[in-house]
Structure 1
Amino acid sequence: MTDTAAPPTVLDVVNALDRRYPRDWAESWDRVGLVLGDLAHPVHRVLCVVDCVPETVDEALAAGADLVVAHHPLLLKPVSSIAPDTYKGRIIHRMIRGDVALYVAHTNADVANPGVSDALAARLDLTGLRPLVPATGVAAGDGRGTGRIGELPGPMDLAEFTGYAASRLPATSAGVRSAGDPARTVRTVAVCGGAGDSFLADARRAGVDAYLCADLRHHPASEHLAEEGPALLDVAHWATERPWLDDVAAWLGGQFGVTVTVSDVDTDPWTVHAFSSSSKETQP
């Protein structure tokens, strides 16, 4: 907590976030850091969100937030206009008019220690955490890298673990689905916040019993199982990253003594989940 009666400025908070999640840890294609905002503006309230979308901007304005800390970049791809009749332009104009700054920590927060996958692993009570894919060029024991591997408190079969994951992670319409033998014993689990099928081979090489992530695609998942890889659990993208917001909020509150809240607005695009009358559903 800062030793001053004056509130921190946007610059103060940005500098602290940059130290915790250095921008050069981000992937080359990523767009992180301060997106908009007056660096000299005082910060009394912060809102942490997964996505900067109209619904979370509504939440920030209603709460009187001075800063939004988001995980996903608003301007990941180049735009030629931020006119108020465009989707992103409307968001930017509303935030500027409301004196709300926007900061993004994305892939630099994914690989941090602690980072996005640490918070996901904590929701599942995994212990003995280590990176699924260690960051290159770091000292042994640094702990940075993509994903995490850990041990469950006790063994479960896959069907039981699927239900356990669904009960511990933020609820979404998509829920949690798994692939593999429902009776398979699960002790060691790899997790990755966000899209994770590019790390299927890493999970297989690590020899884990199950791998949990988001956005698994049909063919990579099918081929992975055919090669006797670990069981798979597919979770809504938002649900795998929402736990990290609690960590960021607690850290910012401790650093600056400001009011920090977390958005529980479910920004997963899928809103309805139904089964046909002929579908077979395995109940955990």
Structure 2
Amino acid sequence: MYAKGQTVIGLMEELAPKSYAVEGDRIGLQIGTLQKDIRKVLVALDVTEEVADEAIREGADLIIAHHAIIYRPLPHIQTDTPAGRLYEKLIKHDIAVYIAHTNLDVADGGINDMMAEAIGMTVTEPLDEVHTDKLKKLVVFVPADHAEKVRQAMFDAGAGGIGKYSHCSFNIEGTGTFKPGEGTDPFIGKTGKLEEVKEVRVETIVPQSVERKVVQAMLKTHPYEEVAYDLYALDLKTRTFGLGRAGKLPKPVTLAELCEQVKQAFDVPMLRVVGDPDRVIRKAAVLGGSGSRYVKHAMFAGADVLITGDIDYHTAHDALAAGIALIDPGHNVEKIMKQGVAEYLQRKLAERKWATAVVASRIHTEPFRFV
């Protein structure tokens, strides 16, 4: 059986929740509908006409891309223009397009983590805070002999984390009372009769980003027809999520050696570099996309080099004067997300026994040629 579009996107948003996106970013469904079966998903960096043709050949019903296909308001859709022709082709072939942009940059396991991992960075931290996950307390009343099962379901869904500790909860035994009314089908007791049941009050911590998932897991596992539970907002914060990553390299290398590693890791034939090739690099920063505005962030993080795209002339001069090295392998290195996202989605779909296939686009969308 094939997964519905909403199911696929639900899994995608477990990796990259919409709430992680920078304000005003163009993310989410941009073309088509998710109210249909998805036989195949194509994961792409950009949605060009060549990528649309690839989706048609592959029999894909959904494209998940990083860069928006509609970024600015459309004054019109004229099918004799390049953009209009692309939209027409996608709509005629019933191919939906969903965008995960800065939310995928920010997410754990997203583009910046993929880039950091590709060059062996360890113990990474965000360069620029974008989102701080707020905490809530979930309290649920469970029959004593079902408490462990409900607790475990909530933990598996992401509840119970405090710092580096997991499976955190507080449990109080007590007596629950209820009288099933007319038309009920109680798990315990009989209609019209007051019941007293040994119950456990289970309290645990829930990050807001997984609140819905945790509550659904609790309700699905709980034996009662009507579940008594409370959610409290807390004046506490948990992990901070942000753009870019800074971290140590496995061993010190020269800037020249790191350039060769970057070319191999990101499959680029050439790159631009600012700094002394013999300089020793111990700590690096990476940022997918255009990173000119984040040089100071990399310096503040103690990085010896920032690896990012679209460095402009004046930023390069400023970095040289400030003493931080730059490596610019181009904006297109974000293509690393294609295989990473495809593997993630295929694994998650397979775990749930869906027949939907996921493939990474093979179209090279780098607009520049090196001559």
Shorter-chain TM-score category?
0.7 to 0.9
Cross-structure match for 1:170: 267
Question: Where in structure 1 are there 5+ consecutive unaligned residues?
Answer: 1-5, 275-284
Q: Is the 8 A contact 2:319 2:326 kept in 1?
A: no
Matches within 5 A, 1:1-284: 6-138=1-133, 142=239, 144-171=241-268, 175-228=270-323, 230-239=324-333, 241-257=334-350, 258-271=356-369, 273-274=370-371
Aligned partner letter, 1:254: R
Instruction: Note the aligned Cα RMSD (angstroms).
Output: 1.6
Q: Which amino acid aligns with 2:345?
A: L
Per-residue deviation, residues 105-149 of structure 1 (Å, max 9, x unmatched) = 001111111211001111111111211223353467725211011
Verify the 8 A CA contact 2:22 2:130 in the aligned structure 1: no
1:281 aligned partner: none
1:232-261 superposed Cα distances (whole Å, 9 cap, x missing partner):
00011111x111222211111122232211
- CA distance in 1 between partners of 2:132 and 2:4 (Å): 34
Does the aligned pair in 1 maintain the 2:307–2:328 contact within 8 Å? yes
Q: What CA distance in whole angstroms lies between the structure 2 residues aligned with 1:28 and 1:147?
A: 17
Contact 2:20–2:131 under 8 Å retained in 1: no
- Contact (CA 8 Å) 2:20, 2:241: kept in 1 or not? no
Deviation, structure 1 residue 86? 2.2
Instruction: Flag the structure with higher strand content.
Output: 2
Of 154-163 and 6-15, deviating more is: 6-15
Structure with larger Rg: 2
Give the CA deviation at 1:36. Answer: 1.6
Question: Which blocks of at least 5 consecutive residues in structure 2 are unaligned?
Answer: 135-236, 351-355
**Quick one: which amino acid aligns to residue 169 of structure 1?**
F
Q: CA deviation at 1:177?
A: 2.0
The answer (yes or no) to whether the contact 2:342–2:360 under 8 Å persists in 1 is: yes
| Structure 1 residue 29: Cα displacement | 2.7
1:233 to 1:205, Cα distance in 2 relative to 1, 3 A: same
TM-score normalized with structure 2 length: 0.68
> How many percent identity over aligned positions?
33
Q: Secondary structure at the match of 2:285?
A: strand
User: How many Å separate the matches in 1 of 2:96 and 2:112?
Assistant: 26
Letter in 1 for 2:44: V
Q: Judge conservation of contact 1:213–1:235 (CA < 8 Å) in 2.
A: yes
TM, length-normalised to structure 1: 0.88
1:279 maps to none
Verify the 8 A CA contact 1:14 1:33 in the aligned structure 2.
Answer: no
* Offset of residue 23 of structure 1: 2.1
Q: What secondary structure, in the 3-state scheme, does the structure 1 residue paired with 2:114 have?
A: helix
> Which amino acid letter does the alignment assign opposite residue 247 of structure 1?
G
